[in-house]
Amino acid sequence: MQDERLARLLDRTDIFDLVRLERHARDVKDWTGLQNSFLPDAPVRTTWFDGTAAEFVEASKKKMGRTGAIISSPKHWIMPTVLQIEGDRALVESQASIFDRLTLDSVEFDIFQYCRFVSRVVRTGDGWKLASFEGIYQRDYMRSVNPADPLPVDWDLVKTLRPSYRFLAYTQLRRGYTVNPELLGDDRPDLLESFYAAEKAWLHRT
């Protein structure tokens, strides 16, 4: 019993470390570290990307290496919170926030997104690896760096976007990205119900 408890605690530490290091690697452009966090064919879905982990690494390199009027270098705070382990499979869910400083129409502003990240995790010969990455969006906001500056926002367009990630979606659209309007969010409990059911079925192999 004691050995089993110790093994589970070690797995928990390894998985929580993996989740934190994956986001840190992307934030600091450690592309090898980011690549090594995933299985190559792991599906990754965010507001601006939908594809495999291998493709995500390459797309991140391109996105974070861009120059011009709209330069993005987002950062993440992540707090792994919930973990379920079944043999060599696990599900991990983290509370998280995304923040970035951007300039649109000569106005500098900060954007903040509150969300959760959910990943399938599998044990491999090289340790635990992320087998998926999915964001669940909660709410977001924009704030001008200079409070006297009005936000550079098309409010008519913003009103058409999902409340769980409307400002993040808006800035992505302004940068030329296509944003999926059907991403997971607390404003769409129907999507969350089916998502969690599928994740639990994968975990328990049912």
pTM over 0.85: yes
**pLDDT at res. 53:** 99
Alpha-carbon distance of 59 to 177, in angstroms, equals: 12
Average pLDDT per consecutive 10 residues, the chain (206 residues; last block may be shorter): 87 98 96 98 97 97 68 86 98 98 95 98 98 99 98 97 98 93 98 98 96
Contact status, residue 22 vs residue 92, Cβ threshold 8 Å: no
DSSP 182: T
**pLDDT at res. 64:** 87
| Domain region containing 152 | 2-204
Structurally, the chain folds into a number of domains equal to: 1
* Domain at 139, CATH number: 3.10.450.50
List the helix and strand counts (H, then E) for the chain. Answer: 6, 7
Task: Name the residue with tokens 């450690």.
Answer: 30
Q: Two tokens at 119?
A: 């990943």
**pLDDT at res. 65:** 79
